[in-house]
Amino acid sequence: MVVIADILAARDRIGDLVRVTPVRPSPSLSALAGGPVWLKCEHRQETGAFKLRGAANAVLRLGRVAGVTTASTGNHGRALAHAARAQGLPAIICVSRLVPQNKLDAIAALGAEPRVTGDSQDEAFGEALRLKRDEGFALIPPFDHADVIAGQGTLGLEILDQIPDAASIAIPLSGGGLLAGVALAAKSRRPDLRIIGISMQRGAAMAASLSAGRPVEVTELETLADSLGGGIGLQNRLTFPMVRQLMDDLILLTEDEIAAGIRHLALEDGETVEGAAAVGAGAILAGKLRTDAPLVLILSGRNIDPDRHAAILRQTT
Ligand SMILES: *Cc1c(COP(=O)(O)O)cnc(C)c1O
């Protein structure tokens, strides 16, 4: 279980490791949405995504361990490597042979060891489990972990400090750690505040699980919102019930709608974000999200391949 006191404690704990990120209005998106739209610029967080909040909180809560490990190559792996280095702890990021060399280099550049095992994400995860069992490592998962959720929740506290009259928050949704934490923080102060989750149509595991009434697996498909891919875990304990309880609306976007969000944020608002972070803008542009009261979009990360970003800006659909 996660309660608001955990999020308040996390905020005190992680202050030295994370930045307070800026918020700014978006006049162009406000005009399209029908009411004031604010951008929470969490893509300017250290390591390029909000995940540092959860990883930092989890690392700082550890007792004596040999090191930390996880099987994520994306923003969580990056965040965990950074937080571990700041604490002088060894970090091993377990990856499969399918992970390209540039990602391994990025992990090593953050001071962590990329450990290549097996031909699938499952086998990589098996190595992380082994490190936990045999070598005294702490396994920090990307979302379904109370300390991770509490850390992500600090973003919700920050939003309400910065935009006290926020009426709704639009949150990119994958495993649900971000949404669960932010929603718990925001609704404990403002029970009437609306929480809107946004995922891609292609392979959204949380959306499929909510429809099924229990965690289910979906086929993973390539998507521009790559940080929103992956399952929620058939053994999900925390984020599935929290998202089910705390989320008011769910919006799903096509690939073209996500691309339009990336393009609009770059060309109209001057913000370079990855696909996962562009879903709020994409939803407004698609006419799927309107508001007459202050709406906050969480720009959750900026880690997109520069060539890919440039190619999206050149498209005109
Ligand atoms: C991880 C991530 C998300 C989704 O967070 P969950 O806690 O898995 O729902 C959204 N945006 C970015 C940039 C991410 O890295």
Domain ranges in the chain are 4-49+145-314, 52-139
Q: What is the average pLDDT across 36-55?
A: 97
Same fold, 4-49+145-314 and 52-139: yes
> Which residues of 62-147 form beta strands (DSSP E)?
67-70, 91-95, 113-116, 137-139
Ligand 1 contact, 179 CB (< 6 A): yes
pLDDT at 176: 98
* 243 neighbors 217 (Cβ within 8 angstroms): no
The token pair that represents 192 in the structure block: 């009437």
The token pair that represents 157 in the structure block: 């506290």
Phi and psi torsions of 113, nearest 5° = -95, 120
Q: What is the average pLDDT across 131-140?
A: 98
Ligand 1 contact, 197 CB (< 6 A): no
Ligand 1 contact, 143 CB (< 6 A): yes
Domain 4-49+145-314 has CATH 3.40.50.10860: no
Span 172-226, pLDDT tens digits: 999 999 999 999 999 999 999 999 999 999 889 999 999 999 999 998 888 999 9
pLDDT at 206: 97
Distances (CA, A) of 86 to 21, 280, 307: 20, 32, 31
Asked if residue 255 has pLDDT above 80, the reply is yes
Question: What letter represents residue 146's amino acid?
Answer: A
Residue nearest to atom 2 of ligand 1 (CA): 227
Element (H, E) at 25: strand 23-25
pLDDT at 317: 58
The C-alpha R_g of the chain, in whole angstroms, comes to 18
> Which residues of 165-206 form beta strands (DSSP E)?
168-172, 194-200
Q: What is the average pLDDT across 14-30?
A: 98
Ligand 1 contact, 173 CB (< 6 A): yes
Report which ligand 1 atom has the smallest distance to the Cα of 177. Answer: 7
Ligand 1 mutation pick, 46, 72, 223, 228, max ligand atoms within 8 A of CB: 228
Q: Residue 203 C-alpha to ligand 1 middle, in angstroms? A: 15
Cα 159 from Cα 20, distance rounded (Å): 10
Q: What is the average pLDDT across 238-265?
A: 98
Cα 243 from Cα 258, distance rounded (Å): 22
pLDDT at 121: 82
The pTM assigned to this predicted structure is 0.97
Domain 52-139 has CATH 3.40.50.1100: yes
Asked if residue 311 has pLDDT above 90, the reply is yes
